[in-house]
Structure 1
Amino acid sequence: MTILSNIGEQMNNLYYSEKDNFFNKIKDYISNSNRELIIISPYIQINALDNLLSNCKAKVTIITTWKLRDIQLGTSELELYNYCKEKNIFLYLNQRVHLKTFINDYSSCLFGSANITFKGLALVENYNYELITKVEKLNIDSILYFKQILNESVLVNNEVYEMYKEKINELEDLPDTEEPNLIDIESRSKFLISALPMSWDIDELFQLYSSGFKTESKEKINCAIHDIVLYQIPLNLNYNDFKELLNERFFISPFVIKLLDFIDGEPRYFGRVKEWIQNNCEDVPVPSRRDLTGNIQVLYNWIVDLSNGKYQVDRPNYSERIYRVR
């Protein structure tokens, strides 16, 4: 898979540590991000991050790594979790991450060698030699790559934070043994809003998928890519194979299984389903019920379409109701 096919065109736009006001180049890029900013960096120091985000208006998602030795050395900081909670930032862990990048709404990115530390951003005298460049337009392969990293990452919650804190407190000396993997893909939460589909219509999803995600609607592209990555659908399937695999993987999702158990008990109105999802999702911060409206409408469409008549939606009063056909 080609990650950044136009990288060669960017080589004349390299920025070097202190020489090119490295920190301000990154901060200006962040300040011009209005919708969604994804930050991927193995090492993050809170004060350096706070300086970068001081003018940020976008919704921020961070993917980093926590390793016990790094935490002991201070190159990673556990209290980053509490900082992110306070700032309504989503914090994820991925122990395979080594790249450093800032992604603006999955349309462009800055990438390079610098971690978000005072040395990495040339904010101290003894700074690291680093460089960055900007890619003005990400192609589909690049977006899929970044989405896959996010999909394989683990959202940090209180339980994860306390587990790391306990492990650090147990250590007296820096360990010489192989770094333990406390978080892996199998242990991540299955009850996140990001574990639910986003595309409004499955047939339209297939059309985007089969056309190489070509449409004028950036929102539809983002939703389609999310769903293809979420359900791990390989490229170039025909319609029947596509829908069969999507059906199989949708209905084995733990979130969907648990929701259908709730629905199977009795018909559920829209407000009750919204309440159930809010009470059962493990997002930090928890989304508001108003924010969940679109997610539930999409869920209704997918459940009805993929269940082959097993579930239906009607509107006996003012609110939609989903139920299992007996």
Structure 2
Amino acid sequence: MSKENIEILHDKDIKFKFKKYLENCDKEVLIISAFAKIEVIKWIDSCIDSRVKKRVLLRFQKSDILSGATDFEIIDYCLKHDWILKFDIKLHSKIYLFNNESFIIGSANATNKGLAFSGSYNKETAVAGNLDLEESNKINRLFDSANDFSQKLIEKMSMEIINENNEKSKYRDWSKEILEGLSSSKISTLFKEDLLTSSSPKLVTDEDIKLLELKKNELQIEFNSIIKEKFVESKFYQWLKIELSDMPEQVIYFGELSKRLHSVIILNDKVFRVDIKNALANLLNWIQELEIAEIIIDRPNYSQRIRLIV
């Protein structure tokens, strides 16, 4: 990406550039936005040819629906109008990609206020320009690694929204049943940023503090419950647990596990096989030092054996 191609946009200029890119889009459009309103998705449809491939990734937390930041009806609309819809409840990005070349990245969500559809709109800023293939692939991987909407999941979410509205409950998160269902879904993609860089929870690096969304003061108490909770919620740990669940006896050895990690990690020039083995060793050491009871690690022969206790 050349700096010469970058254009800084504010407020209504974002929508004007958005429309220009849509009108020139003849292959595919990718919408990544924490929040979205159905009017914006319909507007995008009106600006592009029906043959254009359409994908959208939203955060879709329950609180987003209840607050009106995102329309639940988007699911039904996307299913009926050939949109591929995914979600990630940790998403905060706002990225718009056109033909895998042109992009808009900034603060603007795909909402009426975000894209200045209404008279009262937010003060937003974005940059627009062109990407090379490697950069566009990074954005596409963000979409690929997100959660799919199954019919069963849609029905569960719909029922929870209905019950929430009827009971006027203050509970703002999806139920444990839904969240556990998401964490048990097959994780097909990991990024270097998902891997642990510290060999021990006693020596947490700044990268791992960010990865686990910890605060500095939460590190003062050795092996406190917050660190343990954040660790088992991490994508890296969940990947291991799912891999073990798929094994015939919920058992795997280090060598095979390393191969599996190598097959899902998104590589770049700075990531080598030795880095992956070190990251895996870090993960296993954290499990042992934090005394995670559901996973047992031993060494019956030359290689470490990892077992899931069910």
Deviations 1:100-132 (A, max 9, x none): 111123223111111111111112122100122
Of the candidates 25, 32, 38, which is equivalent to residue 33 of structure 1? 25
Pick closer, same or farther for the CA change 1:35–1:229 going to 2, 3 Å.
Answer: farther
Q: In the alignment, which residue of structure 2 is the partner of 1:283?
A: none
Pick closer, same or farther for the CA change 1:97–1:68 going to 2, 3 Å.
Answer: same
Pick closer, same or farther for the CA change 1:229–1:63 going to 2, 3 Å.
Answer: farther
Pick closer, same or farther for the CA change 1:123–1:114 going to 2, 3 Å.
Answer: same
- 2:85 is equivalent to residue 52 of structure 1: no
Alignment partners' CA distance in 1, 2:155 and 2:23: 33
RMSD: 3.3
Deviations 1:25-69 (A, max 9, x none): 212212211111111011111012211331212210100011111
- 2:122 is equivalent to residue 89 of structure 1: no
TM superposition score normalised by structure 2: 0.55
Amino acid at match of 1:31: E
Alignment partners' CA distance in 2, 1:61 and 1:70: 20
Secondary structure of residue in 1 paired with 2:29: strand
Q: In the alignment, which residue of structure 2 is the partner of 1:148?
A: 141
Pick closer, same or farther for the CA change 1:187–1:79 going to 2, 3 Å.
Answer: farther
- 2:118 is equivalent to residue 121 of structure 1: no
Q: How does 1:171-250 map to 2 (within 5 A)?
A: 171=164, 172-173=167-168, 175=170, 182-183=178-179, 186-188=183-185, 231-232=264-265, 234-235=267-268
Cα pair 2:21 2:102 within 8 Å, conserved: no
Cα pair 1:72 1:174 within 8 Å, conserved: no
Q: How does 1:215-294 map to 2 (within 5 A)?
A: 231-232=264-265, 234-235=267-268
Cα pair 1:144 1:229 within 8 Å, conserved: no
Cα pair 2:35 2:69 within 8 Å, conserved: yes
Q: In the alignment, which residue of structure 1 is the partner of 2:150?
A: 157
TM superposition score normalised by structure 1: 0.53
Gaps of 5+ in 1: 196-227, 242-326
Amino acid at match of 2:105: F
Q: How does 1:55-74 map to 2 (within 5 A)?
A: 55-57=47-49, 58-74=52-68
Please state how far the C-alpha of 1:23 moved relative to its aligned partner: 2.0
How many residues in Structure 1 have an aligned counterpart in Structure 2? Answer: 198
Secondary structure of residue in 2 paired with 1:116: coil
Pick closer, same or farther for the CA change 1:159–1:16 going to 2, 3 Å.
Answer: same
Secondary structure of residue in 2 paired with 1:128: coil
Secondary structure of residue in 2 paired with 1:149: helix
Pick closer, same or farther for the CA change 1:174–1:136 going to 2, 3 Å.
Answer: farther
Alignment partners' CA distance in 1, 2:109 and 2:184: 26
Amino acid at match of 1:167: E
Gaps of 5+ in 2: 190-260, 274-310
Cα pair 1:114 1:121 within 8 Å, conserved: yes
Amino acid at match of 1:114: A
